[in-house]
Amino acid sequence: MDEQYKMTVDAERAPVIEPGYTFGTVTEKISAIVLTRPASNGWFVGFGIAFMLTMMMLYAIGYLFLKGIGIWGVTIPIGWGFAIVNFVWWIGIGHAGTLISAILLLLRQSWRNSINRFAEAMTLFAVACAGIFPAIHVGRPWLAYWLFPYPSTMGVWPQFRSPLMWDVFAVSTYATISALFWFMGLIPDFATLRDRSDKPALRMIYGMLSMGWRGSARHWHRYETAYLLLAGLATPLVLSVHTVVSFDFAVGIVPGWHTTIFPPYFVAGAIYSGFAMVLMLAIPIRKIYGLEDFITELHLQNAAKVMLATGLIVAYGYGIEAFMGWYSGDRYDAFTLWNRLHGPYAVLYGALLICNIFIPQVLWIRRLRTSPVALFFASGVILVGMWLERFIIVVVSLHRDFLTSSWGMYYPTRWDWMTYIGTIGMFLAAIFLFVRLLPMISIFEMRTLLPEAEVKAE
Amino acid sequence: MPQIFHRSTNTLSRATIFGAVFVIAALGWVAMEVQRSPYVTYAGVRKPQPVPFSHQHHVTGLGIDCRYCHTSVETSSFAGIPPTKTCMNCHSQIWTNAQLLEPVRASYRSGESLQWTRVNQLPDFVFFNHSIHINKGVGCNTCHGPVDQMPLMYQQQSLQMEWCLDCHRAPQKNLRPREQVFNMRYQQPTSASPVVVDGQAFSDQVELGSMLLRKYNVRGVKDITSCSTCHR
């Protein structure tokens, strides 16, 4: 047995994969979920609810197209409401997938192999949810394609100096690379499913998706190279996308937005919420599908540690914001700080501090860090906290304008809530389909974690 | 296990993946062409009118000036559509029995305006002003085309924003002396036939246009390409 494997099954530390598995059993266990396991009643109920929420979202969006932005709570001075809050929230959640699949791959963190597949799927679905909001927020959504630079009959290009334009490029690049990366990773597993499936139709579909994969040495050689290259391409995106999203705010001169801490603190917040979402999905899924041997205590712990670290960066960001409110000597910055603590949204700011800073500190305790139930709830709290953070940044900064005559309040309408909750439904519906139709854990990457995969010296 | 796909699938899949690039590029090109074609812009399309009024006959044949009918073109945003009385100035005397002109006489008798079909139609969010263009030396036919050779009126240009900007970004390409604006036979200067302005002969359009830009105090390109110049 190899040294490294011994290390990973070290009694002090939870193993990356429970002992006793072979190539065959790993493949069997993961592919059986897709190929042989019948869909349970629970799946149908869950998918049904998620699907109904998706329909509710489509209804809300359809009514929006009919009536216009007026059905939302946005007004002057709060021209950016739920749409931007939810956009930033979703796009942030997506970040964990890219971090896990690209950066941890380059850093040779082999524990990522158990969770990268569905973390990437989560990224894609989160980006899809995020993409809806700016598109329906532009007022005339049927002209949203004007955001893209194409040789139009108007003879003008989009405003390249606007951070909103940078957003278009950042997010569309991100979505493309994430989709490519996800598909690339699936190719050998598609081939496995093709070979193991006994239904001709499934063999055709998985056969087409696997693009003629035969698993020859040459295939693997090219595959590994391409996969590493894509990981290299995706790595800067982890940092760049949320940096650009933070520019939407930081480039403006609104107090509460105009600060240089935003890019790093947004990226940290994105990974924070992303790992929370990974855990919220992984914990029930491993339980329901009996995958505790593959997604072990080690994975839960590692994710908890990442959340702890990024959560502290986020806390530092809040601290610096508050400090600069005082230190800058700028009366508007100082007022923004005062307004967060004592203004009409002070309750939400308090809730934000509790959710994002205080409650997650329980993860220092090893017993809670390894308890799936505690982690599940901590992750939920963090997701709420990160949503509140974006709400505070967008709404609280805007609702007290420089001119007191234009002060106002933001009250989301039922259409705002229906759209937001609807995207959660769409996200979950996609996850439900994903776990039934595709191998949710990378089969071929799991096999490399086994002792059989170690090359022995002759 | 038998083969799932026929061996030709290899070629087929390569061809479709490689071909998709060209198909998508071609679709984009077609979309661009359609968007600029008369199918969308109506350039060159002759629309039905209550009376088949011929600009060719009245301008080239009879030598009537544009302003005889379009009276407000030099002072107003709207060039003006003549009232029936303008037609009847002549047609109470000539062609008084022509069947073709019965709608004109009917309009004159009843006082109901002729309902012409508008040919050069800009969207409502564009604030176009004829007088400023006339007074800065933009000829009628620069935008409206050879109206003196149109038996039935049609729109000459696409009227798309890129066409507006084409001139607004380089107005010297099209300016002419103020007194030549209504001359439908005006030719841009060449070395063979120079254009004389204030005793100075110009044989090059850009030279002439640049001089006229200064002479007529045309605002800079930055001003006349500002969004709010046309979209107020």
Contact call for B166 and A203, based on CB within 8 A:
no
**Residue B114 pLDDT:** 93
> Would the CB atoms of B160 and A151 count as touching at under 8 Å?
no
Instruction: Specify the pTM.
Output: 0.88
Task: Tell me if B143 is assigned to some domain.
Answer: yes
Q: Which of B10, B13, B161 sits opposite A153 (nearest CB)?
A: B161
B160 and A154: CB-CB below 8 Å? yes
For the stretch A101-141, pLDDT in tens is 888 888 888 888 888 888 999 999 999 999 999 999 988 88
Q: Give the model confidence (pLDDT) of A253-302 as tens digits.
A: 888 899 899 999 999 999 999 999 999 999 999 899 888 888 888 888 88
Residue A195 lies in a domain: yes
User: Is residue A36 assigned to a domain?
Assistant: yes
pLDDT reported for residue A34: 84
pLDDT (mean) for A223-248: 90
CB pair distance less than 8 Å for A153 and B36: yes
> Is B90 part of any domain?
no
| A153:B35 CB<8 A | yes
**pLDDT: is B172 or A3 the higher one?**
B172
Summarize pLDDT for A197-230 with one digit per residue, the tens. Answer: 888 899 999 999 998 898 899 999 999 999 989 9
- Supply the pLDDT for residue A7: 52
* B160:A153 CB<8 A: yes
- CB contacts < 8 A, A to B, total 32
Question: How far does A202 lie from chain B, in Å, by closest CA?
Answer: 11
Residue A140: domain span: 3-149+156-453
Give the residue numbers spanning the domain of B30. Answer: 8-35
**Contact B187/A at CB under 8 A:** no
Cβ-defined contact of A155 to B162 (cutoff 8 Å):
yes
Please state the domain count of chain B: 2
- Best residue in A146, A153, A199 to probe B by mutation, most B CBs within 10 Å? A153
- Per-residue model confidence as pLDDT tens for chain B (232 residues): 678 888 888 899 889 989 999 999 999 999 999 999 999 999 999 999 999 999 999 999 999 999 999 999 999 999 999 999 999 999 999 999 999 999 999 999 999 999 999 999 999 999 999 999 999 999 999 999 999 999 999 999 999 999 999 999 999 999 999 999 999 999 999 999 999 998 899 999 999 999 999 999 999 999 999 999 999 8
In chain A, residues with a C-beta closer than 8 Å to the C-beta of B163 are 155
Rounded to the nearest angstrom, the minimum Cα separation between B63 and chain A is 37
Between B32, B161, B165, which is nearest A151 by CB?
Answer: B32
Distance from CA of B165 to the nearest CA of A (A): 7
Chain B residues within 8 A of A200 when measuring between CB atoms: 4
Q: Quick check: helix, strand or coil at residue B155?
A: strand
CA distance A191 to chain B (A): 12
Q: Which two tokens stand for residue B116?
A: 């012409």
Min Cα separation B221/chain A (Å): 14
Distance from CA of A237 to the nearest CA of B (A): 25
Cβ distance A195 to B32 less than 8 Å, yes or no, reads no
The SS3 call for residue B209 is helix
Domain count, chain A: 1
pLDDT in tens, A386-431: 999 999 999 999 999 888 898 999 999 999 999 999 999 999 999 9
Q: In terms of domains, do B55 and B18 share one?
A: no
Distance between CA atoms of residues A372 and A111, nearest Å: 18
Q: Which residue of B has its CA nearest to A153?
A: B162
Which residues does chain A have within 8 Å of residue B164's beta carbon, measured at their own beta carbons? 155
Find, in chain A, the residue whose alpha carbon is nearest to that of B227: A156
Same domain, B73 and B13: no
All residues of chain B having their beta carbon less than 8 Å from the beta carbon of residue A156 are 161, 165
pLDDT tier, A11 (very low <50, low <70, confident <90, very high otherwise): very low
Residue A13 pLDDT greater than 80, yes or no? no
| Contact at CB, A155 and B1, closer than 8 angstroms | no
The length of chain A in residues reads 458
**Which helix H or strand E contains B196, and what residues bound it?**
strand B195-197
A contacts of B162 (beta carbons < 8 Å): 152-155
Q: Answer yes or no: is A234 within a domain.
A: yes
Q: Which residues in chain B are contacts of A154 at CB distance < 8 A?
A: 160-162
Hey, is the C-beta of B157 within 8 angstroms of any chain A C-beta? Answer: no
Residue B131 within a domain? yes
The answer to whether the Cβ–Cβ distance between A194 and B4 falls below 8 Å is: yes
- Banded pLDDT at A190 (limits 50, 70, 90): very high
Residue B107 lies in a domain: no
Contacts of B161 in chain A (CB under 8 A): 153-156
Could you tell me if residue B94 is inside a domain?
no
Judgement on whether residues B172 and B142 belong to the same structural domain of the protein: yes
CATH label of the domain that carries residue A336: 1.20.1630.10
Structure confidence at residue A25 (pLDDT)? 85
For residue A446, the model assigns a pLDDT of 87
Would you say residue A458 lies in a domain? no
| A247: number of Cβ within 10 Å | 20
Residues of A contacting chain B (CB within 8 angstroms): 151-156, 194-195, 200, 203-204, 207, 211-212
Q: Classify residue B109: in a domain, yes or no.
A: no
CB of B4 less than 8 A from some CB of A:
yes
B163 and B180 within one domain: yes
Query: Is B125 an 8 Å CB contact of chain A?
Result: no
**B165·A155 Cβ contact <8 A:** yes
C-alpha distance from A200 to closest chain B C-alpha (Å):
8
What distance in Å separates residue B38's CA from the closest CA in chain A?
13
Looking at the structure, tell me whether residues B124 and B28 fall in a common domain.
no
Does residue B89 form part of some domain? Answer: no
Percent of chain A with pLDDT over 90: 55
Question: Hey, of B162, B169, B224, which one would you mutate to test binding to chain A, going by the most A CBs within 10 A of its CB?
Answer: B162
